[in-house]
Amino acid sequence: MYIFIMTLKENIQNLLQQVKELSANDEKELEALRIKYLSKKGVITDLMKDFRNVSGDQKREIGISINNLKTEVFNKINEIREKLQNKSQDEEKVSLDLTRTAYPIPLGTRHPLSLVKNEIIDIFTRLGFCLADGPEVEDDLHVFTKMNFAADHPARDMQDTFFVETNPNDVAKNIILRSHTSSVQARVMETTQPPIRVICPGRVYRNETITARAHCFFHQIEGLYVDEQVSFTDLKQVLLLFAQEMFGKETKIRLRPSYFPFTEPSAEMDISCDICGGKGCSFCKNTGWVEILGCGMVHPNVLQACGIDSNKYKGYAFGLGIERIANLKYKISDLRLFSENDKRFLDEFTSAN
């Protein structure tokens, strides 16, 4: 029995040394190693058969040695498997040709609203305007109060505005989805002293029925210029340059008197219809003109509410809908197309990138 025990111990030690030196070049060789050591007819199983003949006083020591050997085999096989997997991944990376053409994978396209927005931003940044941004979930203070909206103005009503949270004790603290990007102008004027020259692109929300001509959300770009000796003539010249850059050098503009709470005087701007050349057609309702934006001189009450001296500074502001410009530029008659993600519609703008 003594010779049997010594032989068994020596056999286990030799196997431990073999396991430490195991290696495999692929999954097939690794599977052969697993079968050799861990299968029902493998080395570990043979050792367990010999273990049955070990005397009781030696069983604990021999049992621990066999378990250690089994653990070492498991660990070594897992280690080899991990190395083979990493090697395979490295080979895949090396085999990837980064210079190959992307075809036949189709190229994506920018959304038409993004194309128009970027073009508008490019025009105004060349005129010295900077970009400004603000939150879409706003308070009444910045959307309405500081923009000179009266407490009973219809725009505050549920029919026009999405309310997130109302405050019966202080209307100015109502939390709403902004109905125009003028709130960004208010925040800029609060924190910046003139000269101020910014454009504010962003999404806005109004509680309207969704149709081909209206939507509950759309996109605006508003502009603001505040400085000493700013005049309506400055505003007109900037808008004329914008219209001609956007729609062509032959484009004409006209300004019609209008009303906005935050500007005085106020106007709406039309451009000559680029479809009929101003002669009159169904698109312009036979007038030769198409409305594209509202504008005016910043109301002194707005300047004062935002901490700017209205006796020293004046300013102009304008706002236009990006969907409206896209309609004119691409002759799109249904606003809903902009938000439905119809790939057939989006693919039409692939060449416009």
Q: Along the 353 residues of the chain, how does pLDDT read in single tens digits?
A: 656 667 777 777 877 788 788 888 888 888 888 888 788 778 878 777 777 777 777 777 777 887 887 888 888 888 888 887 877 776 666 666 677 776 666 667 888 999 999 999 999 999 999 999 999 999 999 999 999 988 777 777 766 888 898 888 887 788 999 999 999 999 999 999 999 999 999 999 998 888 877 888 999 999 999 999 999 999 999 999 999 999 889 889 999 999 999 999 999 999 988 767 667 776 677 788 888 899 999 999 999 999 999 999 999 999 999 998 988 888 887 888 888 888 888 888 876 55
Closest among 352, 325, 350 to 109, alpha carbons compared: 350
Distance, in Å, from the CA atom of 245 to the CA atom of 200, rounded to the nearest integer, reads 19
Q: Are 313 and 297 in contact (CB under 8 A)?
A: no
Domain ranges for the chain, please list them.
2-95, 112-352
Q: Which CATH number fits domain 112-352: 3.30.1330.40, 3.40.30.10, 3.40.50.300, 3.30.930.10?
A: 3.30.930.10
pLDDT of residue 93: 63
Give pairs for 162-169: CB < 8 Å, separation 24+.
Answer: 162/205, 162/206, 162/207, 164/137
Strand, coil or helix: what is 143? helix
Distance, in Å, from the CA atom of 287 to the CA atom of 272, rounded to the nearest integer, reads 9
pLDDT of residue 25: 83
Its pTM stands at 0.66
Closest among 137, 125, 153 to 202, alpha carbons compared: 137
DSSP per-residue string spanning 282-314: TTTTTSSEEEEEEEEEEPHHHHHHTT--TTT-E
pLDDT of residue 132: 94
